[in-house]
């Protein structure tokens, strides 16, 4: 995407990023902070989150906040509590990037361990839904809230072996569409990003034989991640965007 945001694009914006400790989420959190946002980093690993917070604090922009939360432990009650705690600290949320996710196992559905199915659905889908419900009141306090889910090309066309991960991403696309329709007359916009094959640890576990140097880095994707959090995307809702338009799904050639 050829998008050149203004350097103050996200000034006065408060943005929460899940899975902010690594990969694409880490890069998005750093990028949002660089463009002026006050960032809330959510993740399960306190040390890794702290390192990202330190990197953000060295930018001399808004200091970062951290919320240590393992999405495997997400229940509606726990997410509601987190929403309440955030409401005591922050007047609103202008953006939420649901980025955290797990791959599970790459095996045919017939062989997929039902426990892995449940873990993937818990983290990629249920936790995302519980957290969304809990954060909606804060998002609706923004005059231009942006709710962004993370999808995948296997969440649009099924692919053999991609099991629960693919199904969870189809459901994520569905959740985005339903919410976008529910809030179409409101200032809240709801969209998905498909990052496309990107150099991260999740990608390396899915394609261990691949030459990672042929893949885009998380930093390469950031124009779209910025676009969807800033004012230039204000009236865009219900859309599943590609961070790498035209990229053929599958291993890098």
Strand order from edge to edge, sheet including 14-18 = 65-68, 38-43, 14-18, 95-97, 146-150, 189-194, 240-242
Question: With binding defined as CB under 6 A, does residue 104 bind ligand NDP?
Answer: no
Q: Which entry of 165, 183, 225, 227 is annotated as an active-site residue?
A: 165
Let me know if 183 is a catalytic residue.
no
Binding segment for ligand NDP (CB under 6 A), chosen from 30-38, 50-58, 197-205, 220-228, is 197-205
- What lies within 8 Å, CB to CB, of 203 at 6+ separation is 197, 210, 212, 215
- Binding status of residue 200 toward ligand NDP by CB under 6 A: yes
Asked if 171 contacts 150 with a C-beta cutoff of 8 angstroms, the reply is no
Count of residues binding ligand NDP (CB under 6 A)?
Answer: 27
Please give the structure tokens belonging to residue 242: 């590609």
CB of 235: closest distance to ligand NDP in angstroms?
A: 25
For residue 238, the minimal CB distance to ligand NDP (Å) is 19
Are the beta carbons of 37 and 229 closer than 8 angstroms? Answer: yes
Of 16, 71, 131, 136, the one binding ligand NDP (CB under 6 A) is 71
Alpha carbon distance 242, 229 (integer Å): 15
Q: Which stretch binds ligand NDP (CB under 6 A): 18-26, 75-83, 86-94, 128-136?
A: 18-26
Q: How far apart are CA 68 and CA 197, in angstroms?
A: 27
Q: CB of 244: closest distance to ligand NDP in angstroms? A: 9
Strands 95-97 and 65-68: unpaired
- Per-residue binder mask for ligand NDP (CB under 6 A), 129-168, x = binder: ---------------------x-x----------------
Per CB under 6 A, residues contacting ligand NDP are 19, 21-25, 43-45, 48, 70-72, 99-102, 123, 150, 152, 195, 197-198, 200-203
């Amino acid at each position: 995407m050829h998008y050149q945001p203004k350097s103050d694009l996200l000034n006065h914006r408060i943005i929460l990023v899940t899975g902010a400790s690594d990969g694409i989420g880490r890069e998005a959190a750093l990028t949002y902070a660089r463009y002026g946002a006050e960032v809330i980093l959510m993740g399960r690993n306190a040390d890794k989150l702290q390192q990202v917070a330190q990197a953000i604090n060295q930018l001399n922009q808004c200091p970062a906040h951290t919320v240590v939360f393992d999405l495997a432990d997400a229940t509606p009650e726990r997410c509601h509590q987190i929403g309440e705690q955030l409401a005591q600290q922050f007047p609103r949320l202008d953006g939420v990037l649901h980025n955290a996710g797990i791959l599970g196992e790459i095996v045919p559905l017939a062989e997929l361990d039902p426990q892995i199915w449940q873990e993937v659905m818990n983290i990629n889908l249920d936790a995302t839904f519980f957290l969304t419900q809990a954060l909606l009141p804060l998002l609706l306090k923004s005059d231009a809230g942006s709710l962004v889910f993370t999808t995948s090309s296997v969440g649009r066309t099924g692919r053999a072996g991609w099991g629960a991960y693919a199904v969870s991403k189809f459901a994520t696309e569905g959740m985005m569409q339903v919410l976008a329709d529910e809030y179409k007359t409101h200032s809240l916009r709801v969209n998905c990003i498909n990052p496309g094959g990107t150099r991260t640890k999740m990608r390396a576990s899915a394609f261990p034989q691949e030459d990672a140097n042929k893949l885009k880095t998380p930093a390469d994707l950031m124009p779209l991640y910025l676009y969807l959090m800033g004012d230039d995307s204000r009236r865009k809702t219900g859309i599943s965007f590609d961070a790498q338009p035209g990229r053929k799904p599958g291993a890098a050639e």
